[in-house]
Amino acid sequence: MTAHLIVERAGLLDTLQDRGRIGFQALGMPTAGAMDRIALRLVNALAGNTEDLAAIEIGVMGPTLRVEADGVRLAVVGLVALELMGAPEAPPKPLEANRSHLLRRGQRLRVGMVEGARTAYLAVEGGFAVAPFMGSLATYTRAGIGGVEGRKLQDGDMLPLAQAAAREREERKLGAPFDYGSGPIRVVPGPQADHFSDAGHAAFLGSDYVVSKEADRMGIRFEGPAIAHSEKGPDIVSDGIAPGAIQVPGAGLPIVLLADRQTVGGYAKIATVISADLPRLGRMLPGHKVRFMAVTVAEAEALRREQDRRLAQAIAGLQPAMPEGGIDLSALYERNLIDGVVWA
Q: Which is nearer to another protein, 110 or 195 (CB)?
A: 195
Number of Cβ within a 10 Å radius of residue 264: 13
Q: Name residue 73's amino acid.
A: R
Residue 264 found at the interface with another protein (CB under 8 A): yes
72, 114, 220, 300: residue in contact with another protein (rule CB under 8 A): 300
Q: Which is nearer to another protein, 20 or 63 (CB)?
A: 20
79, 158, 293, 297: residue in contact with another protein (rule CB under 8 A): 297
8, 24, 86, 315: residue in contact with another protein (rule CB under 8 A): 24
Contacts of 329 (CB under 8 A, 6+ apart): none
Give least dist CB 180 to another protein, A.
17
Region 105-124 residues binding another protein, contact defined as CB under 8 A: none
Reduced to 3 states (helix: H, G, I; strand: E, B; else coil), residue 144 is coil
What is the rounded CA–CA span in Å between residue 4 and residue 160?
A: 4
Reduced to 3 states (helix: H, G, I; strand: E, B; else coil), residue 136 is strand
**Is 190 exposed, middle or buried, given 0-12, 13-18 or 19+ CB atoms closer than 10 A?**
middle
Contacts of 330 (CB under 8 A, 6+ apart): 320
User: How many residues belong to the site for another protein (CB under 8 A)?
Assistant: 49
Give least dist CB 132 to another protein, A.
12
Residue 199 found at the interface with another protein (CB under 8 A): no
275, 279, 282, 283: residue in contact with another protein (rule CB under 8 A): 275
Q: What is the DSSP string of 76-122?
A: EESSEEEEEE-STTSPPEEE-SSEEEEEETT-EEEEEEE-SSSEEEE
Contact segment (CB under 8 A) with another protein among 22-30, 41-49, 97-105, 112-120 equals 22-30
- List of residues contacting another protein (CB under 8 A): 22-30, 133-134, 140, 142-143, 145, 187-192, 236-245, 262-265, 269, 272-276, 297-298, 300-301, 303-305, 308
